[in-house]
Structure 1
């Protein structure tokens, strides 16, 4: 794990301090040994004819001179030693002070020291990193590939996009440093919520006696991403089990101590989501979608409006019948059916669905009929989209062909049992931008979809790029409660070369995992091996 910049500076200063002290003591010792060495200058120090002729007085005078010299030298050395001890004490005090400042208390974080102890250069560096990072405002990017996606996590699991061939789409943090990091961040968020700063306008009016204390069990979900030249951003959400009010904390680690960016209360109890579904035919898939919608939106969430934009006449009466049946059985009437007698165009359908809403501002979820979502996802949709500030582009977990995944079973299990995050069951669809949560005013302000795009694909990427070129922050992260169910794809000849390539790519990646596709490719070789094995077994039995 990379050490913070402040820690590196302290280590370097400590190392040079110790080296300097060692050299200084070596120099003093060398001077002392040189002074103690026998003197060789002058004939008086040598026995012989001259010494004998000088007599006893000469030697006495020489000894006295040497004694005075050594006394003066000893006094000088004692003075230097006392001075060195004083300097050593001063340097030790400075070193202790530096170590105490190594993890300063910044904006309410639980670290030793105070803001006054933090040096001005450190604070300037930390705040400059936050100013440069994409923490509270969006960054204008040239393409969809410039976005740094978030990793999402709970108290037990991490949902990650970058898997390679060894990591998994959902797994527990295996490395100790990663576990410690996430635990530290969750605890830091609790510190911010439970001990609000006086300058936080959100918390000023709350009486201490009325304030609810949050614990680790109240942590719902979090997101983090690292900008390699700035630091790591954390978005944390906490909620009491018996309430609808969330606490949202943003933290930033600018390659140094954690710093609080903001703390706010988010009330989503009155936030309505308009789920917009474009459709043409595929009534069986729509019936399955309505079953999921009934369980999640009508029975659990109860704050959702459904808008279905249907293209053509074939199947329209069946769709009407399904909606009317749900309305009778559940007393749900918050739906709108828009009928367009024209060729299917997903962008046009979503655009018509957005404009059909006549009740002012609303949060929209652009959805497909093959998508399965949970009540937890709806709350994530509300928490990560904010009018004029943020749009939410969750990464869907796309399920593989169940006929291949569950080939060893007579029939695939029910859909609800297929919703697992495993390498052989599906993948994070990080090249898809069709499912998104955004507010109606933001959608209209940015210009909506490019209605010139015909047929399959492309319209969602164009809209995504518009937001990247604007001032809104784009939240891009894998979401565990959002699944794309497998269905057979047909790539029409009428598609443009770019659309056809995208369609084939999606079709290939949607079919099966790397290992399962490999087993299909080498199926003939595997069957030949099994036949040889059976032949050998029979031969040995006969022999």
Structure 2
């Protein structure tokens, strides 16, 4: 549109300039023609058409003129000749100026076009610079665990987010219109890319499949404030264990396709490593879930030494001798789904990415459901709501990573005894490396509630912190408030009952 407008404007300007040049040329011809002067002098000169006779050109006819008249005539001719010479010079100057203006008008659209092209090049250069600066294809060294920018996970109907506050929910529908539009735009763009990609690239693996919004499974999104938003989208393939993974990046402008790859997970084996010490009841529940998901093979490794979670996980990871394999470090009080295992496969890549999911931690079921007699089976408790639990974003014990990355990074600190500390130590190692750490809420990973004991041997400050942690894991803010004001609520109900009885009387 810009080029067409420029050429149309240029043609009009050129037409006007050509007409002006023609007019000036005609004026030049008329001005330089001597006939008008000759006609004015005809009565005095012997030129044809004079009433004094035909005469001879250049010769005076009639009565002879005096020398004074002849000098006056010569002076007059010289004056007229000088005027004509100045007029011609003026016309030539005007014609030269018009030619220069015409040349400028011809060159200006070219300059505008070059500037437009340069500005487009500059914009593309800026966008590519944003893409290269963002943490997409490789990790960035970070100072500590608080510097990580976590992903949000989402589906078409739900957003799973960390920043809940007191008015938001860990799982909620995207209430704001801009967020709904953002998700729809990204997924629609990905669907269009998938369907156009197979025609342009001759994708034989999915030549007959037409992707739609219904094929979208889950997405991850993370915004770096000074660069842009990264989207990682997963779609169903044409077979059971086949998926399509698209990575899109919005560098504060249009989306840019980063990759479009076919991901097959059917042959990706996961080793689930669980440390265990005196938790027979929880282990029984874990093995029940294990068998429900059609897992059959497992190996028990006995260590006759003081319990150390890091030591147990490290031994389990190094015990595998069948090559590079995907590891899932887990605990006995964790419940996971098959969808989570697929997320584990999709969000890890040897030498590039490790996955640190944020699990949903349950509150005390006895508080949630109003007593121990009303607690439903575990499968029915796996609900993500504000009153059932919270995203455990301060825990780093559950992780998926390839064995080669675990060995190369140095593994766990086996000198740490008991529970806790070893997971943060390993997590910080990855943050200080060039591997990308995928940190996002996982809707298929749950931490089952268990009672927390605060030992009498703890110092007063430690005991206080232990009780605060226990309260945070016990119930939501609102539920704890109901427990705190239980006596006031009961007294209110009694007064209401007495007033109602008085009215009836």
Which one of the candidate residues 302, 305, 313 is aligned to 1:350?
A: 313
The CA deviation at 1:179 is 1.3
Which one of the candidate residues 329, 342, 348 is aligned to 1:379?
A: 342
TM-score, normalised via structure 2 length: 0.73
The equivalent of 1:222 in structure 2 is 219
The equivalent of 2:288 in structure 1 is 291
**Are the structure 2 counterparts of residues 275 and 118 from structure 1 closer, same or farther at C-alpha, using a change threshold of 3 Å?**
farther
The equivalent of 1:177 in structure 2 is 178
1:336-357: CA deviations, max 9, x gaps? Answer: 1001122321111111110111
Which whole-Å CA distance do the structure 2 matches of 1:504 and 1:388 have between them? 41
Query: Does 1:268 find its partner at 2:269?
Result: no
The CA deviation at 1:409 is 7.7
Which whole-Å CA distance do the structure 2 matches of 1:474 and 1:370 have between them? 24
**Are the structure 2 counterparts of residues 528 and 241 from structure 1 closer, same or farther at C-alpha, using a change threshold of 3 Å?**
farther
Which whole-Å CA distance do the structure 2 matches of 1:417 and 1:136 have between them? 39
Which whole-Å CA distance do the structure 1 matches of 2:319 and 2:408 have between them? 16
The CA deviation at 1:497 is 9.8
**Are the structure 2 counterparts of residues 244 and 520 from structure 1 closer, same or farther at C-alpha, using a change threshold of 3 Å?**
same
Which whole-Å CA distance do the structure 2 matches of 1:379 and 1:233 have between them? 20
SS of the residue 2:434 aligns to: coil
Paired residues of 2:358 and 2:395 also in contact (CA < 8 A): yes
The equivalent of 2:155 in structure 1 is 154
Paired residues of 2:198 and 2:207 also in contact (CA < 8 A): no
Q: Note the residue ranges of structure 1 that are not aligned, 5 or more in a row.
A: 1-82, 102-115, 299-331
**Are the structure 2 counterparts of residues 501 and 338 from structure 1 closer, same or farther at C-alpha, using a change threshold of 3 Å?**
farther
The CA deviation at 1:469 is 0.4
1:96-115: CA deviations, max 9, x gaps? Answer: xx9xx9xxxxxxxxxxxxxx
SS of the residue 2:383 aligns to: coil
Within 5 A, what are the aligned runs for 1:93-112?
Answer: none
The equivalent of 1:248 in structure 2 is 245
**Are the structure 2 counterparts of residues 122 and 207 from structure 1 closer, same or farther at C-alpha, using a change threshold of 3 Å?**
same
1:54-91: CA deviations, max 9, x gaps? Answer: xxxxxxxxxxxxxxxxxxxxxxxxxxxxx9xxx9xx99
**Are the structure 2 counterparts of residues 241 and 410 from structure 1 closer, same or farther at C-alpha, using a change threshold of 3 Å?**
farther
1:357-405: CA deviations, max 9, x gaps? Answer: 1111110111111111110000000000111000000110111000000
Which one of the candidate residues 384, 407, 411 is aligned to 1:421?
A: 384
**Count, aligned residues:** 398
1:191-214: CA deviations, max 9, x gaps? Answer: 22222399xxxx956359946332
The CA deviation at 1:280 is 0.8
SS of the residue 1:138 aligns to: coil
Q: Which moved more, 1:361-370 or 1:524-533?
A: 524-533
**Are the structure 2 counterparts of residues 342 and 248 from structure 1 closer, same or farther at C-alpha, using a change threshold of 3 Å?**
same
Paired residues of 1:238 and 1:246 also in contact (CA < 8 A): yes
The equivalent of 2:495 in structure 1 is 532
SS of the residue 2:322 aligns to: coil
**Are the structure 2 counterparts of residues 443 and 496 from structure 1 closer, same or farther at C-alpha, using a change threshold of 3 Å?**
farther
SS of the residue 2:339 aligns to: helix
Paired residues of 2:237 and 2:244 also in contact (CA < 8 A): no
The CA deviation at 1:496 is 9.6
Which whole-Å CA distance do the structure 1 matches of 2:433 and 2:290 have between them? 33
Which one of the candidate residues 271, 277, 280 is aligned to 1:280?
A: 277
Which one of the candidate residues 342, 360, 368 is aligned to 2:323?
A: 360
SS of the residue 1:338 aligns to: coil
Q: Note the residue ranges of structure 2 that are not aligned, 5 or more in a row.
A: 1-100
Paired residues of 1:275 and 1:367 also in contact (CA < 8 A): yes
Query: Does 1:479 find its partner at 2:476?
Result: no
The equivalent of 2:134 in structure 1 is 133
Paired residues of 1:230 and 1:254 also in contact (CA < 8 A): yes
SS of the residue 2:299 aligns to: strand
The equivalent of 2:41 in structure 1 is none
The CA deviation at 1:502 is 6.8
TM-score, normalised via structure 1 length: 0.68
Which whole-Å CA distance do the structure 1 matches of 2:457 and 2:145 have between them? 26
1:490-521: CA deviations, max 9, x gaps? Answer: 24567899987775554222110010001111
The equivalent of 2:169 in structure 1 is 168
The equivalent of 2:120 in structure 1 is 119
The CA deviation at 1:437 is 0.4
**Are the structure 2 counterparts of residues 209 and 279 from structure 1 closer, same or farther at C-alpha, using a change threshold of 3 Å?**
closer
Which whole-Å CA distance do the structure 2 matches of 1:240 and 1:176 have between them? 30
**Are the structure 2 counterparts of residues 146 and 283 from structure 1 closer, same or farther at C-alpha, using a change threshold of 3 Å?**
same
Within 5 A, what are the aligned runs for 1:62-101?
Answer: none
The CA deviation at 1:172 is 1.6
Which whole-Å CA distance do the structure 1 matches of 2:441 and 2:206 have between them? 38
Q: Which moved more, 1:257-266 or 1:239-248?
A: 239-248
What is the RMSD of the two structures over their aligned residues, measured on CA atoms?
Answer: 2.9
Greater C-alpha Rg? 2
Paired residues of 2:286 and 2:332 also in contact (CA < 8 A): yes
Within 5 A, what are the aligned runs for 1:372-451?
Answer: 372-407=335-370, 410-451=373-414
